[in-house]
Amino acid sequence: MTLSEGARAGTRELEMLDSLLALGGLVLLRDSVEWEGRSLLKALVKKSALCGEQVHILGCEVSEEEFREGFDSDINNRLVYHDFFRDPLNWSKTGEALPGGPLGALRAMCNRTDLGPVTIALDSLSWLLLHLPCTILCQTLHTVSHQDSCPPGDGSPVGKVHVLGLLHEELHGRGPMGALSSLAQTEVTLGGTMGQASARILCRRPRQRPTDQTQWFSILPDFSLDLQEGPSIESQPHSDPHIPPVDPTAHLTFNLHLSKKEREARDNLTLPFQFSSEKQEALLRPRPSQATSHIFYEPDAYDDLDQEDPDDDLDI
């Protein structure tokens, strides 16, 4: 890679990260089993720390050591880590945990006195959804992510608040997913194909139409992004025209095909429940030469026939 190509790649990386953090508010990172999102979360945390923002990490799903792994000492020194992984319910009573758990930590950030920009990374929203009521969590997220829209009484400018939420969408139903999606200003859905990761970025700007774009990327060991071109059509798997198609009926124990004679015999066969024209003619219009049937009834000696009440013997 030449120097100019490296500069262009670095510019594209900054443009992608800036587009995720430009709006402020809640940034929803939706990952799956095949395409994990914690690496992208750490890339955004690194970008915010390098911009001089306060960065708070609510670690609920992995240990602090695992989350800090891969960051250099300069980045780690700028992170304020709230460890809810080791003792989420404060059973040890060490006094280190904030009262109220992760929800209490979020509410405490609503009352911050520093008016500079701040980034709050939730690792993860799925853990919080499994331990907290969805309505209370959504209300708290709305309050935290909209602090910059409520300036203080002295008129001082308030920096943007970025809330980065990692969400494992396969763990939740449509209700919680829809509620969080309605709160998010930016949604990032991770996917990919042919071993290449992609991010579908949906941005909702006030009084503007939402924008939707897809970025192909890979994350380097230092949590910087390497933007790539999408997989070409030629590289995608396709059938070889020189290889004959496989017949799925080739090795069956029964025959699915009929010969010409078998097909003619099947077409000429009249089934018992089918009324042919000849059968209808025979049933509905008997021929004059055809003998007709008659019913003769001779009363028994014990029959008591009453012409006025023929059903008298039925006792009805």
In a domain, 36, yes or no: yes
Is pLDDT of 121 > 60? yes
Buried b (16+ CB within 10 A) or exposed e, 167-184: bbbeebeeebbebbbebb
What's the pLDDT at 153? 52
What's the pLDDT at 19? 67
Is pLDDT of 58 > 50? yes
Percent of the chain scoring above 90 in pLDDT: 28
- Tell me the whole-structure pTM to 2 decimals: 0.65
Which domain CATH number covers 63? 3.40.50.300
In a domain, 38, yes or no: yes
What is the C-alpha separation between 28 and 164, in angstroms, rounded?
A: 6
In a domain, 233, yes or no: no
Which of 89-93, 96-100, 216-220, 306-310 ranks highest by mean pLDDT? 216-220
Residue 81 confidence class, pLDDT cut points 50, 70, 90: very high
- Average model confidence (pLDDT) for the chain? 79
In a domain, 129, yes or no: yes
In a domain, 302, yes or no: no
Is pLDDT of 91 > 90? no
What's the pLDDT at 112? 66
What is the C-alpha separation between 17 and 55, in angstroms, rounded?
A: 16
Residue 15 confidence class, pLDDT cut points 50, 70, 90: low
Please count the other Cβ atoms lying within 10 Å of the Cβ belonging to residue 142.
Answer: 14
Per-residue pLDDT of 220-252, as tens digits, reads: 888 988 887 766 544 444 455 556 777 777 777
What is the C-alpha separation between 12 and 4, in angstroms, rounded?
A: 12
Contact 44, 50 (CB under 8 A): no
Least confident range of 4-18, 92-106, 298-312: 4-18
What is the C-alpha separation between 55 and 121, in angstroms, rounded?
A: 8
The residue type found at 156 is S
In a domain, 216, yes or no: yes
The residue type found at 259 is S
Tally of structural domains, the chain: 1
Helical H runs in the chain? 3-21, 38-50, 64-68, 73-78, 101-110, 125-131, 134-145, 174-183, 260-268, 277-284
In a domain, 162, yes or no: yes
Per-residue pLDDT of 273-289, as tens digits, reads: 776 677 777 777 766 66
Is pLDDT of 14 > 80? no
Mean pLDDT of 30-44: 92
In a domain, 117, yes or no: yes
Residue range(s) defining the domain that contains residue 193: 25-90+98-148+158-228
